[in-house]
Structure 1
Amino acid sequence: MEDVDRFERSRPHLQAIAYRLLGSAVEAEDVVQETFLRWQATDVDRIEVPEAWLTKVLTNLCLNQLTSARARRETYVGQWLPEPLLAGDPMLGPADTVEQRESVSFAVLTLMERLSPSERAVYVLREAFDRAHREIAEILDITEVASQQIFHRAKQHVAQGKARNEVDQAAAQRIVEEFLAAATGGQTDELVRLLTKDAISVGDGGGKVPARTKAFEGAVAVAKFVWAMFKPAQAKRAIVGGSPEIYAWAANGEPAVVAVVGSRVVAIMCLEVTAEGITACRTQANPDKLERATEQWAAAGHGEPLLVM
């Protein structure tokens, strides 16, 4: 039992690493469980630094998963987006520094899809968990210099697509409320004002919920799409099984719009906000990627919806 307890104390940390590496809570739980099985099959008394051993095993399992995931995503229906986590989910991990908060944002998780598996591993371990390059080198069986070079390259790739400024919870709530007021009031001019000129909107339905295969680009195109999406229609209610209740919330540290039918989360739209306005609307509607969010929602005190569609 002592060995099990030692592992369970590390589980939240391992889950936070795995989620950042994989962008999927379901897959993160699977690799953490596989790490546990390997821990049980090992003579743990001979392991000098258990946390280092567990991190190495977990990271390499994630690298294998990322390699196979790339092949699966070539046949994925439509756009692929990460699995969002609602505010308060322990899998989001540490959020003490700007780097830690950014590393789990929906925007950065999406950008990390551009990285190779090794780049993603080095970036996450260094940026989000402040691991020394010496430790990362040991985990990945590379040299310390190689770790530094890979991190520099990965950080450049992420920075090229990142245009995010931190927004506090109160500001996030206000932004979502203004966004929803404009979207549901048919005020496309107001939506355009809230969006940056180069704003994009992208959705992931996984082939199970209708979603456009290409992103909407430009403030006007995004505003028209958002207005149409929030316009009540019987056909939309049929797709999600009822009239969605709409809430202003936060997911992955970003302001978000959460749509709920009954007790089930049916969509989460994460808004990437900068000083210039909303630069991206990323909507996860694939039901397979909303199961954990539904569980978390049921346990949260969320009050009354802003509107019912």
Structure 2
Amino acid sequence: MNISVVPSVQFCYEGLNGSCTRSTYPLSLRIPLYFLLTSTVIVTVGGNLLVMITIVHFVQLQTPANYLVFSMSVADLLLSITVMPANMIQSLENCWYFGDFLCTFYACVDITLCCASVLHLTCISIDRFYAVSKPLQYHNRMSTCVSFTMISVSWIVSAIFGSAVAFFPGDRGDATESAYFDCIGGCSALHEKEIGILYFFVFYFIPLTVISSIYLRILVIAIRQTNIIHKTNRQVRIGKHNVTKIDYRATKTLGIVIGVFMLCWTPFFICNIIDPVAGHSIPAVLYEILMWLAYLNSMFNPIIYAFSLTWFRKYFQILLKGLL
């Protein structure tokens, strides 16, 4: 099926001098896309709300590790409420209707929330490292105070970085690109792609290197401890639960979360790195598709927790039965 753009020249603001031109997709394509993206937003909001409500509702889940999960869900929830709907309209209408200030604010919030999500993921990996490598010292080292400190640092650093990138004027490339974004109804936001390399290293490469290194170390320790347990046939128990099995399930879940993060975000950052080198020749449609693929990470996180952790799934079911 050929997807074509209506050839007639249209403007974001008809009859207004200086308005950006607008490439309109056929209605037969826009309606399904609106349905698909709206459904994505709803699932993302619902999934993250369910994680947050579950942790708040059950005292058993209110642990330093789950506080990190809760805060990451807050970042994903805010992203789905504030950023994704605005991006959906801009992607499908090819115009920004919310003014210059909200354009800059949108970029700031977008970068802040995405950065906060990955920094929380880094903190969760550190938490898992101590849980597996130093189980006897874990509760002393990873206290509620330490967890809240990690959360505060993640949000503060993300806000500073997001504000610096969004409010610092960037190079808009050639004259054609600059003319487009300077017109009424255009929003440069994250399209000032010369920030791509800085964004890539600060938000993606450095945290992911740290997370991957920690996770590989966790795997080595987990394998060694499993061999020791099998040889000695001893298990450390608290009540009826095997602590080692609980920690390893959480570690496996972390690995899935990291893998999904890489699948969702890697294509977007590769695009950001290549585009300035290629003279901004990457089509805007491809850029938008990869941006939405990255946003899907916020939808997948609560799904991973719901289906990977038995104990989390059990509380989910109890909560849902109570709501229904």
Which structure ranks higher in relative contact order (CA pairs < 8 Å, sequence separation ≥ 6)? 2
Same fold (TM over 0.5): no
Point out the structure with max Rg over C-alpha: 2
Q: Which has the higher helix share?
A: 2
TM-score, L = length of structure 1: 0.30
Q: Which has the higher strand share?
A: 1
TM-score, L = length of structure 2: 0.29
